[in-house]
Structure 1
Amino acid sequence: MKDNKQVRRLIDENYDQIHKLIQEKIEIWFDYVVFSSLWWLGVALSVIPWILWFIFRNKNSTDRILYSGFFVIIISIALDIVGDQFSLWHYRFNVIPIVPTYFPWDITLMPVTVMFILQIKPDTNPFIKAIVFAVFSAYIAEPFFHWLGIYVTLSWKYTYSVPIQFVIYLVAHYLSRRSHFSKFY
Protein backbone atom coordinates (compact mmCIF):
# COMPACT_ATOMS: atom_id res chain seq x y z
CA MET A 1 0.00 0.00 0.00
CA LYS A 2 1.27 3.44 -0.87
CA ASP A 3 1.75 5.97 1.90
CA ASN A 4 -0.55 8.99 2.15
CA LYS A 5 2.14 11.47 1.05
CA GLN A 6 2.72 9.60 -2.20
CA VAL A 7 -1.03 9.31 -2.87
CA ARG A 8 -1.51 13.02 -2.20
CA ARG A 9 1.39 13.89 -4.50
CA LEU A 10 -0.06 11.73 -7.31
CA ILE A 11 -3.52 13.26 -6.90
CA ASP A 12 -2.07 16.78 -6.84
CA GLU A 13 0.02 16.13 -9.97
CA ASN A 14 -3.03 14.75 -11.74
CA TYR A 15 -5.06 17.80 -10.70
CA ASP A 16 -2.33 20.11 -12.03
CA GLN A 17 -2.38 18.33 -15.40
CA ILE A 18 -6.17 18.53 -15.58
CA HIS A 19 -6.08 22.22 -14.64
CA LYS A 20 -3.58 22.95 -17.43
CA LEU A 21 -5.75 21.12 -19.97
CA ILE A 22 -8.85 22.99 -18.85
CA GLN A 23 -7.00 26.29 -19.21
CA GLU A 24 -5.95 25.25 -22.73
CA LYS A 25 -9.54 24.27 -23.53
CA ILE A 26 -10.75 27.69 -22.38
CA GLU A 27 -8.15 29.43 -24.56
CA ILE A 28 -9.23 27.38 -27.60
CA TRP A 29 -12.85 28.18 -26.81
CA PHE A 30 -12.13 31.94 -26.62
CA ASP A 31 -10.01 31.88 -29.78
CA TYR A 32 -12.14 29.65 -32.01
CA VAL A 33 -15.53 28.71 -30.57
CA VAL A 34 -17.24 31.63 -28.87
CA PHE A 35 -19.35 33.61 -31.36
CA SER A 36 -18.85 30.99 -34.10
CA SER A 37 -21.94 29.86 -35.99
CA LEU A 38 -22.06 26.55 -34.06
CA TRP A 39 -21.72 28.41 -30.77
CA TRP A 40 -24.67 30.65 -31.72
CA LEU A 41 -26.63 27.53 -32.69
CA GLY A 42 -25.91 26.14 -29.23
CA VAL A 43 -27.08 29.36 -27.58
CA ALA A 44 -30.28 29.32 -29.66
CA LEU A 45 -30.88 25.64 -28.83
CA SER A 46 -30.40 26.47 -25.16
CA VAL A 47 -33.02 29.22 -25.11
CA ILE A 48 -35.61 28.87 -27.89
CA PRO A 49 -37.04 25.44 -26.90
CA TRP A 50 -37.68 26.72 -23.37
CA ILE A 51 -39.49 29.76 -24.75
CA LEU A 52 -41.60 27.51 -26.99
CA TRP A 53 -42.35 25.19 -24.07
CA PHE A 54 -43.33 28.13 -21.88
CA ILE A 55 -45.75 29.36 -24.56
CA PHE A 56 -47.23 25.99 -25.54
CA ARG A 57 -47.10 24.06 -22.28
CA ASN A 58 -50.19 22.68 -20.63
CA LYS A 59 -50.54 25.37 -17.98
CA ASN A 60 -52.56 23.11 -15.70
CA SER A 61 -49.70 20.58 -15.61
CA THR A 62 -46.69 22.89 -15.47
CA ASP A 63 -45.43 21.67 -12.07
CA ARG A 64 -45.75 17.97 -12.80
CA ILE A 65 -44.17 18.31 -16.24
CA LEU A 66 -41.28 20.40 -14.88
CA TYR A 67 -40.77 17.77 -12.18
CA SER A 68 -40.18 15.21 -14.94
CA GLY A 69 -38.10 17.68 -16.95
CA PHE A 70 -35.74 18.29 -14.02
CA PHE A 71 -35.28 14.55 -13.66
CA VAL A 72 -34.30 14.37 -17.35
CA ILE A 73 -31.84 17.25 -16.89
CA ILE A 74 -30.14 15.58 -13.91
CA ILE A 75 -29.89 12.16 -15.57
CA SER A 76 -28.75 13.64 -18.90
CA ILE A 77 -25.98 15.65 -17.27
CA ALA A 78 -24.85 12.71 -15.13
CA LEU A 79 -24.75 10.25 -18.04
CA ASP A 80 -23.10 12.79 -20.33
CA ILE A 81 -20.35 13.42 -17.78
CA VAL A 82 -19.77 9.67 -17.38
CA GLY A 83 -19.61 9.19 -21.16
CA ASP A 84 -17.19 12.08 -21.52
CA GLN A 85 -14.98 10.94 -18.63
CA PHE A 86 -14.76 7.40 -20.00
CA SER A 87 -13.97 8.74 -23.50
CA LEU A 88 -17.08 7.26 -25.08
CA TRP A 89 -17.81 10.61 -26.74
CA HIS A 90 -17.03 14.27 -26.43
CA TYR A 91 -18.37 17.59 -27.66
CA ARG A 92 -16.92 20.45 -29.63
CA PHE A 93 -18.32 23.98 -29.78
CA ASN A 94 -19.58 23.99 -26.20
CA VAL A 95 -21.71 26.95 -25.20
CA ILE A 96 -19.85 27.04 -21.88
CA PRO A 97 -16.19 25.95 -22.14
CA ILE A 98 -15.69 24.32 -18.73
CA VAL A 99 -18.76 22.10 -18.92
CA PRO A 100 -17.85 18.66 -20.31
CA THR A 101 -21.36 18.07 -21.59
CA TYR A 102 -23.26 19.76 -24.40
CA PHE A 103 -25.36 22.25 -22.47
CA PRO A 104 -28.15 22.59 -25.08
CA TRP A 105 -28.64 18.82 -25.23
CA ASP A 106 -28.76 18.15 -21.49
CA ILE A 107 -30.39 21.31 -20.21
CA THR A 108 -32.81 22.01 -23.04
CA LEU A 109 -33.29 19.58 -25.90
CA MET A 110 -33.68 16.37 -23.88
CA PRO A 111 -35.96 17.71 -21.13
CA VAL A 112 -38.06 19.99 -23.33
CA THR A 113 -38.60 17.22 -25.88
CA VAL A 114 -39.66 14.82 -23.14
CA MET A 115 -41.96 17.44 -21.60
CA PHE A 116 -43.64 18.13 -24.94
CA ILE A 117 -44.08 14.40 -25.60
CA LEU A 118 -45.61 13.94 -22.15
CA GLN A 119 -48.21 16.59 -23.00
CA ILE A 120 -49.08 15.33 -26.48
CA LYS A 121 -51.80 12.68 -26.40
CA PRO A 122 -51.23 11.95 -22.70
CA ASP A 123 -53.29 8.74 -22.85
CA THR A 124 -51.07 7.15 -25.53
CA ASN A 125 -49.17 4.07 -24.40
CA PRO A 126 -45.96 5.36 -22.75
CA PHE A 127 -43.94 2.47 -24.22
CA ILE A 128 -44.82 3.64 -27.74
CA LYS A 129 -43.84 7.20 -26.87
CA ALA A 130 -40.63 5.97 -25.23
CA ILE A 131 -39.56 3.98 -28.29
CA VAL A 132 -40.36 6.90 -30.63
CA PHE A 133 -38.36 9.25 -28.40
CA ALA A 134 -35.44 6.82 -28.10
CA VAL A 135 -35.26 6.06 -31.81
CA PHE A 136 -35.58 9.74 -32.76
CA SER A 137 -32.88 10.77 -30.26
CA ALA A 138 -30.47 7.99 -31.17
CA TYR A 139 -30.89 7.79 -34.94
CA ILE A 140 -31.85 11.33 -35.94
CA ALA A 141 -30.71 13.84 -33.28
CA GLU A 142 -27.34 12.25 -32.43
CA PRO A 143 -26.30 11.73 -36.08
CA PHE A 144 -27.38 15.30 -36.87
CA PHE A 145 -25.12 16.71 -34.14
CA HIS A 146 -22.37 14.37 -35.29
CA TRP A 147 -22.80 15.63 -38.87
CA LEU A 148 -22.52 19.23 -37.61
CA GLY A 149 -19.24 18.29 -35.93
CA ILE A 150 -20.50 19.04 -32.43
CA TYR A 151 -20.87 15.46 -31.15
CA VAL A 152 -17.91 13.12 -31.57
CA THR A 153 -18.39 9.44 -30.83
CA LEU A 154 -15.24 7.59 -29.84
CA SER A 155 -16.31 4.14 -28.67
CA TRP A 156 -20.05 4.69 -28.73
CA LYS A 157 -22.68 3.55 -31.23
CA TYR A 158 -25.99 5.32 -31.66
CA THR A 159 -27.76 2.04 -30.95
CA TYR A 160 -26.38 2.04 -27.40
CA SER A 161 -28.42 5.18 -26.73
CA VAL A 162 -31.77 3.61 -27.57
CA PRO A 163 -32.36 1.64 -24.34
CA ILE A 164 -31.02 4.51 -22.23
CA GLN A 165 -33.33 7.06 -23.87
CA PHE A 166 -36.19 4.57 -23.63
CA VAL A 167 -35.73 4.21 -19.86
CA ILE A 168 -35.25 7.95 -19.34
CA TYR A 169 -38.59 8.64 -21.04
CA LEU A 170 -40.41 5.91 -19.09
CA VAL A 171 -39.13 7.18 -15.75
CA ALA A 172 -40.06 10.75 -16.72
CA HIS A 173 -43.53 9.51 -17.67
CA TYR A 174 -43.84 7.71 -14.34
CA LEU A 175 -42.76 10.83 -12.44
CA SER A 176 -45.23 12.99 -14.36
CA ARG A 177 -48.06 10.80 -13.08
CA ARG A 178 -47.18 11.10 -9.39
CA SER A 179 -49.74 12.87 -7.28
CA HIS A 180 -48.98 11.80 -3.72
CA PHE A 181 -46.99 14.64 -2.24
CA SER A 182 -47.40 15.54 1.38
CA LYS A 183 -48.21 19.10 2.31
CA PHE A 184 -45.64 21.35 3.94
CA TYR A 185 -46.56 22.25 7.49
Structure 2
Amino acid sequence: MKTTHPSYDEIRNIEYKLGQMKHEYWIHHDLFSFQWWVLLFVLIFPWIFWLRYVDKKRITEIVLFGSLLMLLVELLDDIGINLHLWSYPYQLFQLIPRLTPIDNGIIIVAHMFVFQFFEKWKSFLIANLVMATIFTFIFEPITVWLNIYKLEHWKYVYSLPIYIIKAGFIKWVVERLINIKNETIRRN
Protein backbone atom coordinates (compact mmCIF):
# COMPACT_ATOMS: atom_id res chain seq x y z
CA MET A 1 0.00 0.00 0.00
CA LYS A 2 1.28 3.38 -0.94
CA THR A 3 0.89 6.11 1.65
CA THR A 4 -0.03 9.48 0.25
CA HIS A 5 1.26 12.64 1.78
CA PRO A 6 -0.26 16.07 1.43
CA SER A 7 1.12 18.20 -1.36
CA TYR A 8 2.47 21.69 -0.88
CA ASP A 9 -0.58 23.09 -2.68
CA GLU A 10 -2.96 21.18 -0.38
CA ILE A 11 -1.15 22.56 2.66
CA ARG A 12 -1.26 26.11 1.27
CA ASN A 13 -5.00 25.76 0.54
CA ILE A 14 -5.69 24.71 4.13
CA GLU A 15 -3.47 27.52 5.43
CA TYR A 16 -5.44 29.99 3.30
CA LYS A 17 -8.76 28.71 4.69
CA LEU A 18 -7.35 28.79 8.22
CA GLY A 19 -6.19 32.37 7.67
CA GLN A 20 -9.70 33.37 6.62
CA MET A 21 -11.17 31.67 9.71
CA LYS A 22 -8.67 33.40 11.99
CA HIS A 23 -9.50 36.75 10.43
CA GLU A 24 -13.25 36.22 10.97
CA TYR A 25 -12.61 35.09 14.55
CA TRP A 26 -10.43 38.12 15.26
CA ILE A 27 -12.92 40.61 13.78
CA HIS A 28 -15.93 39.15 15.64
CA HIS A 29 -14.28 37.91 18.84
CA ASP A 30 -11.05 39.76 19.66
CA LEU A 31 -11.19 43.25 18.17
CA PHE A 32 -12.24 45.86 20.78
CA SER A 33 -13.00 43.22 23.43
CA PHE A 34 -11.89 43.87 27.01
CA GLN A 35 -8.92 41.57 26.43
CA TRP A 36 -7.98 43.48 23.28
CA TRP A 37 -7.86 46.73 25.28
CA VAL A 38 -5.75 45.05 27.98
CA LEU A 39 -3.31 43.87 25.31
CA LEU A 40 -3.14 47.34 23.78
CA PHE A 41 -2.39 48.82 27.21
CA VAL A 42 0.39 46.30 28.05
CA LEU A 43 2.00 46.99 24.69
CA ILE A 44 1.94 50.81 24.74
CA PHE A 45 2.07 51.92 28.38
CA PRO A 46 5.34 50.14 29.32
CA TRP A 47 7.12 51.77 26.37
CA ILE A 48 5.86 55.24 27.35
CA PHE A 49 7.09 54.59 30.89
CA TRP A 50 10.42 53.26 29.55
CA LEU A 51 10.98 56.34 27.35
CA ARG A 52 10.53 58.53 30.40
CA TYR A 53 12.87 56.61 32.73
CA VAL A 54 15.48 54.92 30.54
CA ASP A 55 19.09 55.86 31.31
CA LYS A 56 19.89 57.93 28.21
CA LYS A 57 23.64 57.51 28.82
CA ARG A 58 23.31 53.72 28.42
CA ILE A 59 20.44 53.67 25.92
CA THR A 60 22.41 51.89 23.19
CA GLU A 61 23.41 49.08 25.54
CA ILE A 62 19.90 48.83 27.00
CA VAL A 63 18.25 48.79 23.56
CA LEU A 64 20.71 46.13 22.39
CA PHE A 65 19.80 44.01 25.42
CA GLY A 66 16.07 44.54 24.81
CA SER A 67 16.29 43.88 21.07
CA LEU A 68 18.24 40.64 21.44
CA LEU A 69 15.91 39.53 24.21
CA MET A 70 12.89 40.37 22.04
CA LEU A 71 14.21 38.16 19.24
CA LEU A 72 14.80 35.29 21.67
CA VAL A 73 11.38 35.69 23.32
CA GLU A 74 9.64 35.69 19.93
CA LEU A 75 11.57 32.58 18.85
CA LEU A 76 10.69 30.72 22.06
CA ASP A 77 7.07 31.83 21.80
CA ASP A 78 6.81 30.61 18.20
CA ILE A 79 8.30 27.26 19.22
CA GLY A 80 5.82 26.95 22.10
CA ILE A 81 2.87 27.79 19.87
CA ASN A 82 3.96 25.34 17.16
CA LEU A 83 4.48 22.56 19.72
CA HIS A 84 1.01 23.31 21.14
CA LEU A 85 2.43 24.03 24.59
CA TRP A 86 0.28 27.16 24.84
CA SER A 87 -1.96 29.33 22.71
CA TYR A 88 -3.53 32.77 22.71
CA PRO A 89 -7.31 32.96 22.34
CA TYR A 90 -7.13 36.77 22.07
CA GLN A 91 -4.83 38.69 19.76
CA LEU A 92 -4.12 42.38 19.45
CA PHE A 93 -3.00 41.90 15.85
CA GLN A 94 -4.68 39.22 13.77
CA LEU A 95 -1.70 38.57 11.49
CA ILE A 96 0.78 37.88 14.29
CA PRO A 97 0.14 34.57 16.08
CA ARG A 98 2.18 35.28 19.16
CA LEU A 99 1.35 37.40 22.16
CA THR A 100 3.21 40.45 20.85
CA PRO A 101 1.87 42.98 23.39
CA ILE A 102 3.21 40.98 26.29
CA ASP A 103 6.31 39.56 24.56
CA ASN A 104 7.38 42.90 23.07
CA GLY A 105 5.77 45.18 25.62
CA ILE A 106 5.68 44.57 29.32
CA ILE A 107 8.13 41.63 29.45
CA ILE A 108 10.88 43.32 27.42
CA VAL A 109 10.49 46.66 29.17
CA ALA A 110 10.59 45.01 32.60
CA HIS A 111 13.73 43.10 31.62
CA MET A 112 15.35 46.26 30.29
CA PHE A 113 14.71 48.04 33.60
CA VAL A 114 16.24 45.14 35.50
CA PHE A 115 19.24 45.31 33.15
CA GLN A 116 19.45 49.10 33.59
CA PHE A 117 19.19 49.25 37.39
CA PHE A 118 21.07 46.07 38.32
CA GLU A 119 24.38 46.16 36.46
CA LYS A 120 26.31 43.71 38.66
CA TRP A 121 25.66 40.04 38.01
CA LYS A 122 24.60 39.14 41.54
CA SER A 123 22.04 41.93 41.87
CA PHE A 124 20.87 41.33 38.28
CA LEU A 125 20.24 37.63 38.97
CA ILE A 126 18.40 38.37 42.22
CA ALA A 127 16.22 41.08 40.62
CA ASN A 128 15.62 38.84 37.61
CA LEU A 129 14.55 35.99 39.90
CA VAL A 130 12.08 38.28 41.68
CA MET A 131 10.71 39.57 38.37
CA ALA A 132 10.54 36.05 36.89
CA THR A 133 8.64 34.84 39.95
CA ILE A 134 6.13 37.70 39.64
CA PHE A 135 5.62 37.08 35.92
CA THR A 136 5.37 33.30 36.38
CA PHE A 137 3.07 33.09 39.38
CA ILE A 138 1.09 36.34 39.20
CA PHE A 139 0.97 37.75 35.66
CA GLU A 140 0.71 34.44 33.80
CA PRO A 141 -2.24 33.24 35.95
CA ILE A 142 -3.94 36.61 35.42
CA THR A 143 -3.61 36.26 31.63
CA VAL A 144 -4.99 32.73 31.88
CA TRP A 145 -7.90 33.99 33.99
CA LEU A 146 -8.54 36.70 31.35
CA ASN A 147 -8.42 33.97 28.67
CA ILE A 148 -5.58 35.80 26.90
CA TYR A 149 -3.14 32.94 27.48
CA LYS A 150 -4.12 29.26 27.42
CA LEU A 151 -1.91 26.55 28.83
CA GLU A 152 -2.16 23.42 26.72
CA HIS A 153 0.83 21.24 27.59
CA TRP A 154 2.56 23.67 29.92
CA LYS A 155 2.67 24.53 33.61
CA TYR A 156 3.47 27.92 35.11
CA VAL A 157 6.53 26.61 36.91
CA TYR A 158 8.16 25.70 33.57
CA SER A 159 8.33 29.41 32.71
CA LEU A 160 10.39 30.38 35.75
CA PRO A 161 13.79 29.02 34.65
CA ILE A 162 13.18 30.26 31.09
CA TYR A 163 12.65 33.84 32.28
CA ILE A 164 15.89 33.65 34.28
CA ILE A 165 18.07 31.84 31.73
CA LYS A 166 17.06 33.93 28.70
CA ALA A 167 17.78 37.24 30.48
CA GLY A 168 21.07 35.94 31.87
CA PHE A 169 22.14 34.67 28.47
CA ILE A 170 21.34 37.96 26.73
CA LYS A 171 23.12 39.96 29.47
CA TRP A 172 26.19 37.77 28.93
CA VAL A 173 26.02 38.31 25.14
CA VAL A 174 25.67 42.10 25.50
CA GLU A 175 28.52 42.31 28.00
CA ARG A 176 30.68 40.17 25.72
CA LEU A 177 29.92 42.44 22.74
CA ILE A 178 30.73 45.54 24.79
CA ASN A 179 34.02 43.98 25.93
CA ILE A 180 34.94 43.16 22.32
CA LYS A 181 34.14 46.75 21.31
CA ASN A 182 36.21 48.20 24.19
CA GLU A 183 39.16 45.91 23.44
CA THR A 184 39.06 46.96 19.79
CA ILE A 185 39.00 50.66 20.76
CA ARG A 186 41.94 50.18 23.15
CA ARG A 187 44.00 48.44 20.46
CA ASN A 188 43.41 51.24 17.97
Q: How high is the TM-score relative to the length of structure 2?
A: 0.87
Counterpart mapping for 1:9-158 below 5 A:
10-123=7-120, 125=122, 126-158=124-156
Separation in 1 of the partners of 2:56 and 2:173? Answer: 17
Is 1:169 aligned to residue 167 of structure 2? yes
Which whole-Å deviations, capped at 9, do the CAs of 1:27-86 have from their partners, x for residues lacking one? 111112111121111112111111110110011110000101011111111111111111
Separation in 1 of the partners of 2:173 and 2:53? Answer: 21
Point out where structure 1 has 5 or more consecutive residues left out of the alignment.
none
Q: Report % sequence identity.
A: 28
Aligned residues: 179
CA contact (8 A) 2:111 2:128 kept: no
Separation in 1 of the partners of 2:170 and 2:135? Answer: 15
Structure 1 residues 121 and 86, CA gap change in structure 2 (3 angstroms):
closer
Q: Which amino acid aligns with 2:30?
A: V
CA RMSD of the aligned region, Å? 2.0
Q: Which amino acid aligns with 1:106?
A: D
| Structure 1 stretch displaced more, 37-46 or 58-67 | 37-46
Separation in 2 of the partners of 1:113 and 1:121? Answer: 12
Please state how far the C-alpha of 1:124 moved relative to its aligned partner: 6.0
Q: How high is the TM-score relative to the length of structure 1?
A: 0.88
Please state how far the C-alpha of 1:174 moved relative to its aligned partner: 2.0
Point out where structure 2 has 5 or more consecutive residues left out of the alignment.
none
